[in-house]
Amino acid sequence: MNDIANAFRADGAIWMYLILATSIIAIGIAIERFIFLFFKYNINAQAFMAQIQKLVMADNIDRAIKLCNAAPTRALPRVIKAGLTRADKGEVEIQNAMEEISLEVVPMVQKRTPALAAVANIATLLGLLGTVIGLIDAFKALESADPSMQQQMLSAGIALAMSTTAFGLIVAIPTLTAHLILTGMTKKILDEIDLYSVKLENMLVTRGKGAQ
């Protein structure tokens, strides 16, 4: 870590600051997505839908809607509520209502998570670019520097070059790890929406046929 700190103070360390900027962006995105995906949009879908099923089968739609209203920020309850509000309508209206809300909810759940992969790639590429330019500067110095200073300048150039690569990877690896975790949570939420919206539709259609 001392080598990286020294590289920030070295000439030509602009690459280190650019990588630092990508790390700040990555941290900001990761924290925001962790909060939203794990604490705002996520819900225990199985337990929630078990309650919804009991209420629907008991023909207590109003109570089921209130249950959805109790979790207004969660992704799944918003979609389920849309279907419940059309419970007495036909199958097409129920399906259309849930699809309409899904078109609002899905982009909110997916938002910014893919950017983490791009930020990780940018950090890696900036590290490699800093390495290449650092080596070019080092070898140029050998051509014009005093022989007594050549070894020192070559060592400094290579140290700076290697530091940019190291720092780029230090930023990229945790960023990709966060991207992997957040992508998994995003997929879980979206899969639950797809699964339970179909189950609710089937329940409401069955209920409607039974009432006829």
**CA atoms lying within 13 Å on the CB side of residue 57:** 7
pLDDT at residue 153, rounded to an integer? 67
Contacts of 96 (CB under 8 A, 6+ apart): none
> What is the rounded distance in angstroms from the CA atom of residue 108 to the CA atom of residue 73?
11
User: What's the pLDDT tens digit per position in 36-74?
Assistant: 999 999 999 999 999 999 999 998 999 999 999 999 999
Would the pTM count as exceeding 0.75?
yes
**pLDDT reading at 211 higher than 60:** no
User: What's the pLDDT tens digit per position in 154-201?
Assistant: 776 677 778 888 889 999 999 999 999 999 999 999 999 999 999 999
**pLDDT reading at 30 higher than 80:** yes
Question: Binning pLDDT at 50, 70 and 90, where does residue 149 land?
Answer: low
pLDDT at residue 114, rounded to an integer? 94
Tokens of 51: 């309650």
> What is the rounded distance in angstroms from the CA atom of residue 64 to the CA atom of residue 10?
64
Q: Which alpha helices (DSSP H) does the chain contain, by range? A: 2-9, 14-35, 45-57, 61-69, 75-84, 91-110, 113-144, 147-211
**CA atoms lying within 13 Å on the CB side of residue 140:** 6
**Has residue 50 been placed in a domain?**
yes
On average, the pLDDT of the chain sits at: 87
Question: Binning pLDDT at 50, 70 and 90, where does residue 135 land?
Answer: confident
Question: Binning pLDDT at 50, 70 and 90, where does residue 134 land?
Answer: confident
pLDDT at residue 136, rounded to an integer? 79
Residues of the chain with pLDDT > 90: what percent? 65
**Has residue 118 been placed in a domain?**
yes
Closest residue by Cα to residue 78 from 57, 52, 56, 60: 52
Neighbours of 71 (CB within 10 A): 16
Neighbours of 143 (CB within 10 A): 7
> What is the rounded distance in angstroms from the CA atom of residue 200 to the CA atom of residue 77?
11
**pLDDT reading at 78 higher than 70:** yes
**pLDDT reading at 208 higher than 70:** no
**Has residue 14 been placed in a domain?**
yes
**Has residue 156 been placed in a domain?**
yes
| The total number of structural domains that make up the chain | 1
pLDDT at residue 73, rounded to an integer? 92
Tokens of 110: 């997916």
For residue 44, the enclosing domain spans: 2-207
For residue 11, give the H/E element and its range.
none
**Has residue 212 been placed in a domain?**
no
Question: Binning pLDDT at 50, 70 and 90, where does residue 84 land?
Answer: very high
**pLDDT reading at 34 higher than 90:** yes
Closest residue by Cα to residue 172 from 122, 132, 112: 122
**pLDDT reading at 24 higher than 90:** yes
